[in-house]
Amino acid sequence: MAAHPRIGYPTRSVLKNLAVSILLTGCLPAVSGACSTGTGAGSASSEVDLVERFTRVVPSERKADADGQFVRHEQVVRNGLAKDAMVLVAPVIIRASLAGFSGRALLEGLSTPVYNVGDGMQMEILLLGRGRERVLYSRYYDAGRRIEDRAWIPIRVPLDLEAWPPDSQLEIRVSGGPQGDLVADWLAVGALHIVQGDAVR
């Protein structure tokens, strides 16, 4: 008779660590891409990952064979810290649907140049909806000259979607530096997500 596989029960230390994790974060880790947290009745927040929503926009005047301009998942290491990130090679535009979001929210994530050479690059994050657009975030990166641009840089942008239609989109544009030099203009954007709930009140 074939032997039944042994079932490993969690040790006391594992259960203790799990309890601490739940107390600190308010949710069970590694369950889903969205995590709801709260401290009482009617108190909750949720985080929704945006990475899989993004698609590359190809302007009609540009050839559609530039596949290297947007990589959805790439391991990027900066200052010894490795992150799974989207990599955007300038010039590039990507968009994500904001269907399902409404009211006040926070856009959070990390960004960093992949290389420390070139004349830098510009990133803009915009909100688009039925002919309107609003710049939410703009930053110039120059890792070749600025040490602070060689690390993961936090992105934290308030969103107010109250007056925007349900089919609104989030757009990220990455363009070359002031001299138009596109060499090594690769930008990594990691852990990009939207937070809604009590955390944004």
The answer on 125 and 150 residing in a single domain is yes
DSSP 90: S
Look at residue 8 and tell me whether its pLDDT is greater than 50: no
The backbone torsions φ and ψ at residue 183, rounded to the nearest 5 degrees and listed phi first, read -65, 125
Question: Cα(46)–Cα(37) distance, rounded to whole angstroms?
Answer: 7
Residue 113 lies in a domain: yes
Q: Are residues 31 and 65 in the same domain?
A: no
Looking at the fold, whether 14 and 87 belong to one and the same domain comes out as: no
Instruction: Supply the range of the domain harboring residue 25.
Output: 10-40
* Total domains present in the chain: 2
1 domain residue, yes or no: no
Residue 110 CA to residue 168 CA, distance in Å, equals 22
pLDDT of residue 5: 38
Instruction: Evaluate whether 47 touches 35 at the Cβ level (below 8 Å).
Output: yes
Q: What is the pLDDT of residue 100?
A: 95
Share of the chain above pLDDT 90, in %: 65
- The pLDDT score that the predictor gives to residue 128 is 98
